[in-house]
Structure 1
């Protein structure tokens, strides 16, 4: 069991201190190779999740190799989203890897559970998660599984709109509005926690809490060097 209020999902990013005023206009185009790879990775993610469902149901364990693969897909997805459309907080091109890259400014991880409940695996991804789906839909709109703006799990609506507002401000002022950045990361973090829970990767229910800023306030996974908050203010 995790300490009360802590999430096993680590979701972090750091804002580049000097972002290009105009590169955001073409980042989505530059990220097309990643979108193609992610399309196939999310198909594999779905199949792996089905296999993991039965593994947990019969053995109470999520096979470690399958778990690491699915975490890697979500990590890759977050790096691409952070670069190209969700926050747009870095100009560094995302690496083509499932592994964590310590010096890249976006990080995602989930603490591996040694045991998972057989009963919860039957209901948590649909019945128990319904309140979270409702909240996330109200917060960001257009959230769901399937290919979309952020890949297999994606935040649309408010996240996309506020990201656009942020880079327009950047274009005219040369500065990314830090309070808006912190809010965007809070929204994206909430979505990521719900996604990990719905994908059967944890039995820890996502907290109803908007943890804003680039640094995760309650990660149960070990932080990598370079992960941090919003950067210079």
Structure 2
């Protein structure tokens, strides 16, 4: 029996059952306060990443508080993009916090690495990640590739790539039918999951190379592997024991 490899970056989400047909037209305005805050946070993210680079090079450890801060920035960014034009998967306004919010339908968690390679830190964020960066450029558009590859302060990845196109199609279908196509949603989630895994890898948060695999659906395979019997999908940060994905059924 094949067991899904649990990648240390876990991205989970739930599709709201009742989405407004027209709210997506103004979400770019509603999200402006978040974009302003995220601009400052991503400046800090870049500074922290540079400090972490030298810390890993000298000690083989990513300082825990710095790690938690950068994960929080990724988490906040994912929530805003999930609300806005990277998914449009919820009409619930994102919270202004770096912390995990179990009630919110979008989640991101990165397992803290106890040890990181001093050698890999020199090359993984640009040379080793290059094949993935080319793919991310297609998925998220040139703006996202530039963001990952040049330490820009803004990491909004709806820059006209495949994700942006598919979300536009989903928005039009939602406006006409009042429903978000589930198959399209699952596919878009898989694309965003790929982008976020690469983002965490290039940000030095893990030495585990991102898989060339499209894991679709709202439930991350890593969460399914880690979740115990009775775990609620909306609370992916409470694993207690290892199980095989086939042992339980986890709805997206």
What TM-score do the two structures reach when normalised by structure 1?
0.91
The residue that corresponds to 1:154 in the other structure is: 157
Once the two structures are TM-superposed, the CA of residue 225 in structure 1 deviates from its matched residue by: 5.7
Q: CA RMSD in A?
A: 2.1
Find out whether 1:226 has 2:229 as its counterpart: no
Query: Distance between the aligned counterparts of 2:56 and 2:155, measured in 1?
Result: 22
Query: Distance between the aligned counterparts of 1:225 and 1:113, measured in 2?
Result: 24
Match runs of 1:30-41 below 5 Å: 30-41=30-41
Q: 1:180 to 1:80 in 2, by over 3 A?
A: same
TM-superposition CA deviations, 1:146-189 (whole Å, max 9, x none): 568xx426253111111011011000001100100000000000
Q: Which of the residues 177, 183, 187 maps onto 1:179?
A: 183
Find out whether 1:92 has 2:92 as its counterpart: yes
Find out whether 1:196 has 2:173 as its counterpart: no
Query: Distance between the aligned counterparts of 1:160 and 1:131, measured in 2?
Result: 21
Higher relative contact order (CA 8 A, sep 6+): 1
Once the two structures are TM-superposed, the CA of residue 33 in structure 1 deviates from its matched residue by: 0.3
TM-superposition CA deviations, 1:123-152 (whole Å, max 9, x none): 00011011111222233432321568xx42
Unaligned runs of 5+ in 2: 237-249
Match runs of 1:1-233 below 5 Å: 5-142=5-142, 143-144=144-145, 145=147, 151-152=154-155, 154-156=157-159, 157-219=161-223, 226-227=234-235
SS at match of 2:123: helix
Query: Distance between the aligned counterparts of 1:29 and 1:22, measured in 2?
Result: 13
How many residues get paired? 227
Contact 1:105 1:227 in 2 (8 A): no
What TM-score do the two structures reach when normalised by structure 2?
0.84
SS at match of 2:107: strand
Contact 2:170 2:181 in 1 (8 A): yes
Query: Distance between the aligned counterparts of 1:191 and 1:40, measured in 2?
Result: 21
Unaligned runs of 5+ in 1: none
